[in-house]
Amino acid sequence: MTTSNKHPGAPWRNFYGRIKGKTLKQSQEAYLDEDLAALSPGPIDWDDNPERNPIDTKAMFDGKPVWLEIGFGGGEHMVHQAVQNPDVGIIGCEPYINGVAMLLGKIRSSGASNLKVHPGDVRNLFDVLPAASLDKAFLLYPDPWPKKRHHRRRAVTPEYLEPLARALKPGAEFRVATDIPDYVRQTMIEVPKAGFEWLAEGPSDWRDPWGDWISTRYEQKALREGRVPHYMTFRKR
């Protein structure tokens, strides 16, 4: 466990996930050194922005619609969406530095230029996102925190959902994918309470992936291990 904020004026926020895994490859170290700073969406963390001044999402992507991916893992989905949707800008948040390095390699290979990357806690980004500035958001295979006493750490809790709802425009889409049945249950309880409606008319609406979906390595692992993915789509009221 680490704390996400060390600035004296910052709120106390515990962060329980991994920050770094196995040793990075030399090429991945180079991606971090050479590419990451240029992809920053702006001053996000408390030490860089203690006044919590809002970032300019309109200027960031020249007025394009802005999407957010919360915890992009290895970046497969984020880069896929960026390449398929050059008319939007996508901000990705991921505190796990190995995943950030993987994403940067994929960005280089794809040539995508409509991405920004925050290698840290999405709650810090929420602090400085203007209200109603996001057109779509993704939460795909988040850390399951399977033990009941850890469910409060999940990203479908008010600490995450309330600021996300504030940052999304009315009518904006929020997609959640998970292979954990209890995570599905908590999502279906908590997300509507935060100001969203579930867009499902039949079983295929949560059993079948979205039409523009690309299966990630996390999903492939779930399928190999016999777990069933669920794809939930919500709309901000």
Question: What amino acid positions are annotated as catalytic residues?
Answer: 143
The DSSP secondary-structure symbol of 75 reads S
The greatest distance separating any two alpha carbons of the chain, rounded to the nearest whole angstrom, comes to: 50
Phi–psi pair at 174, nearest 5 degrees: -130, 120
**E-assigned strands of 94-160?**
115-118, 134-140
CA–CA separation, 219 vs 229, rounded Å?
A: 7
Strands 14-15 and 2-3: antiparallel
Question: Hey, what are 233's tokens?
Answer: 């789509």
CA–CA separation, 190 vs 196, rounded Å?
A: 9
